Amino acid sequence: MKILVVGSVAYDTVRTPFGEVTEVLGGSAAYFSAAAAFFADVRLVAVVGEDFAEEDIQLLRERRVDLEGLSRVPGRTFRWRGEYGFDLNEARTLETHLNVFAAFRPRIPPAYRDSEIVFLANIDPELQREVLGQVATPQLVAADTMNFWITGKPDALRETLKRVHTLLINDAEVRMLAGEPNLVKAARKILSWGLRSLVIKRGEYGALMFSNGWWFSAPALPLEQVLDPTGAGDSFAGGFLGYLANTANFSLDNVRKAVIMGSVMASFAVEDFSLRRLTRLTYPEIEARFREFKGLAQFEDI
């Protein structure tokens, strides 16, 4: 199954307690694509400026990401600068320069319109809905969002969610979206809007998935090296949807495995800055870490 991702490709400047990088490749669509491409064909739709480096184009191509939908237009590429303290679950944004991304209007190439899986990364919910108007009949539509859209465009977001099957957001965003501090009650409320499932990304505490009548908790793997959590959520989404695309199986048991695979890919992404760890990752490493995750929660009956 082929995956269409629509989101940002950017240059990030990031400082954590463990180092700092300047103007490195980032953006939701870039992280997602680098993770998902291990499992399935990925079609990327985004916009960059005329300053976007050819070496970064080549990096994505080497991951076998289809770039027909990547537009290069006059101007500068989206920039983000942020920092993390020792609590790596929360970034502090220092600067955001949307540049060419401010006028981004996704245009889906005809060859992409038969994509079976669509991931609407963190962009304006009205643009997310425009994307869905340009694709045929995807079997699975997943979306991300953030507090800016939850508070700034709540009606547009709710309208978009009517056409989404799976929502992937963090725990703070779940509480904000539902207006409910308890995660279980918040998840139940969000699912009542018509979603098939809700995936709650909880950083170093793992992930939760809720669907009608059941829920699943995935642990986080204790890591010796965490350098940069930027892009972990999008890498999670890439592993999650990439696994589902690869197996073409949306059963509950397989979706649980997909949640673990999402956690696997996120755990690799945080081990280095930018996409560096994902671009040197091998599939045997992914398989080995999947087994590690499986061992975290295995136990015998009483």
Q: What is the pLDDT of residue 301?
A: 65
Query: How is 214-268 classified by DSSP, letter by letter?
Result: EEEEEPPPP-S-----TTHHHHHHHHHHHHHHHHT---HHHHHHHHHHHHHHHHH
Q: Where are the domains of the chain?
A: 2-297
Both tokens of 253, joined, read 């048991």
Fold of 2-297: UDP-N-acetylmuramoyl-L-alanine:D-glutamate ligase (3.40.1190)
Q: What angle do CA 167, 173, 92 make, to 5 degrees?
A: 125
Cα end-to-end span (Å), the chain: 41
Q: What is the pLDDT of residue 283?
A: 96
- Give every CB contact of residue 35 below 8 A, 6+ residues apart in sequence: 234, 235, 236, 237, 238, 239, 242, 265, 269, 278
Strand partners of residue 26:
10
Distance, CA of 193 to CA of 29 (rounded, Å)? 26
CA dihedral 279, 280, 285, 287 (to 10 degrees): 30
Both tokens of 198, joined, read 């809700």
Distance, CA of 188 to CA of 197 (rounded, Å)? 10
120 within 8 A of 128, measured Cβ to Cβ? yes
Q: What is the pLDDT of residue 142?
A: 98
Per-residue pLDDT tens digits for 88-106:
777 889 999 999 999 999 9
Q: How many CB atoms lie within 10 A of CB 139?
A: 14
Q: What is the pLDDT of residue 223?
A: 83
Q: What is the pLDDT of residue 302?
A: 65
Strand partners of residue 151:
none
**What 3-state class would DSSP assign to 34?**
helix
Q: What is the pLDDT of residue 219?
A: 86
Distance, CA of 156 to CA of 158 (rounded, Å)? 6
Relative to beta strand 91-97, strand 79-84 is: antiparallel
Q: What is the pLDDT of residue 250?
A: 93
pTM: 0.95
Q: Low-confidence residues of the chain, pLDDT below 50?
A: none
Tell me how far the alpha carbon of residue 155 is from its chain's centroid. Answer: 23
Per-residue pLDDT tens digits for 195-210:
999 999 988 888 999 9
Q: What is the pLDDT of residue 155?
A: 94
